[in-house]
Amino acid sequence: MLVIGFSTRNIVCSGSRAGYNMYTIDAFSDQDTIDCCIATKELPHELDIRSKDAAEIIIDMIRSFDVDFDAIVPGSGFEVMDLTSLPWAILASDPKNIQMVQDKLALSHKLSELELPHPHVYESVDDEPDKFPVMIKPRKAGGGILNRMACNEQQLSRAVRDILKNEPSFTRNDLMMQEFTLGEPASVSLIAIKDKVVAVAVNEQLIGTPWLTRMEFAYCGNITPYEGKYAEEMCKISEKLISELGLLGSVGIDFIVTKDGPEIIEVNPRFQGSMDTVEMATGINLFDAHVKAFQGKTPQKYRKVQRSAGRCIIYADKEIRIDAHVLKEMRKQRVADIPQHGYVAFKDKPVISVLQTGMNRSDVIDSLKRDSENIKRIIYEMS
């Protein structure tokens, strides 16, 4: 199996545990990615995924493996790349369905049509908001790093300028404005086939967690299961929505859980960042479930969690270089996304992930905080 994405470690390691021979093309070539693969290739640093020749470059890289793959699994950033000239099956949803849900403005129109709860989305960042605060974010990018909140007109103008400065390839049409909704961030992980959708886990999301990052809305990891009171309702909403959208395989829906109930934020038509915690908490192998979904097979039912599990992502407070001694010390913790010797993590970029399990959320959070503090001390004292 070949996996292509900007970061594929959780996908290829899941596939390896399920007994598949894994290959990958990604941007990081982390040590644990390499350990789980027969062979890996690193994406060119200068590659613009939106350029006309990007698909041709990737196809040449795929052919250079000189392997007859069983299938290709697109990960984040490559869900709609045209690889149909290759002779192998593509285990992904219909590109038209993916493009619709990845455009948060188009998705909001669909959610309104289905009368499903979601924050109000404006047609343009140049519209006059009915009320503040509002959230400005990319229409077709995730991760939260570029998200900005605005509480007045001046902050709104500043937020738009700041995002365009940080991502020069964007125009104002690449941005969207959304009602800012207070609540707990959560997600539902699902497996879908043509005529059946099964929610396999509800997850708490760690967003802008102060002991992991200085970025207010950056994705920092997950805790599985989500322990709030709306978990069952989110599962029902998610199964209905994914059925309507016609997505297949492993997919996820992000929510904000308000005092009045859950509201849909976005849909991820691919493997999600919660993959580690879902697998650790439930015992389900999501890669194997994804492959079998394209054979018309789904898990029989929602699987009760066996334990609590957490993953957190440590972001760099300043530019740091990871040397062999730092790597050796970090490996004493339960870590993932392990960088190569000599890796430079720039300010506000991810360094490494920490994984933990426990009897409940409190146990997991305490362990993640402890291990994260140990790793940050190692990084900043020794690098």
- The pLDDT of residue 346: 95
Q: For position 166, what pLDDT does the model report?
A: 92
Residue 143 has a pLDDT of: 78
What whole-number distance in Å separates Cα of residue 297 and Cα of residue 292?
A: 5
pLDDT on residue 383: 65
Does 303 score more than 80 pLDDT?
no
For residue 339, the model assigns a pLDDT of 96
Provide the residue ranges of all domains of the chain, joining segments of one domain with +: 2-92, 93-119+181-304, 120-179, 307-383
Mean pLDDT, to the nearest integer, of 330-344?
95
pLDDT in tens, 112-127: 999 999 999 999 999 9
Q: What is the DSSP string of 267-289?
A: EESS--TTHHHHHHHH---HHHH
Residue 119 pLDDT: 97
Domains 2-92 and 307-383 share a fold: no
pLDDT attached to residue 300: 62
Contact 275, 290 (CB under 8 A): no
Higher-pLDDT residue of 301 and 346 is 346
What average pLDDT does this structure show over 234-261?
97
Maximum separation of any 2 CA atoms in the chain, in Å: 57
**CATH architecture of the region 307-383:** Alpha-Beta Complex (3.90)
What band does 52 get if pLDDT is binned at 50, 70 and 90?
confident
At residue 169, the pLDDT reads 87
Average pLDDT of the segment spanning 17-29: 97
For 165-197, write each residue's pLDDT tens digit: 999 989 999 999 999 999 999 999 999 998 999
CATH topology of domain 2-92: Rossmann fold (3.40.50)
Amino acid at site 298: T
Band (pLDDT 50/70/90 cuts) for residue 327 is very high
Q: What percent of the chain stands above pLDDT 90?
A: 91
CATH architecture, range 120-179: 2-Layer Sandwich (3.30)
Segment 362-375, tens digit of pLDDT: 999 999 999 999 99
pLDDT of 144 above 90 = no
Q: Can you give the pLDDT at residue 272?
A: 96
Q: What is the pLDDT of residues 206-246, one digit of tens each?
A: 999 999 999 999 999 999 999 999 999 999 999 999 999 99
The pair of structure tokens assigned to 143 is 């991760």
Nearest 5°: the CA angle 188, 191, 194 is: 130
User: Which residues in 76-113 are b (16+ Cβ under 10 Å) and which e?
Assistant: bbbbbbebeeeeeebbbbebebbebbbebbebbebbee
pLDDT at residue 132, rounded to an integer: 96
**Averaged pLDDT score across all residues of the chain:** 95
196: which strand partners?
193
**pLDDT value of residue 61:** 98
pLDDT (0 to 100) of residue 302: 56
Pairing of strands 39-42, 71-74: unpaired
Distance CA 373, CA 221 (A): 16
- Is the pTM higher than 0.85? The answer reads yes
How far is it, in rounded angstroms, from Cα 277 to Cα 264? 21
- CATH 1.10.260.40 is held by the domain 93-119+181-304: no
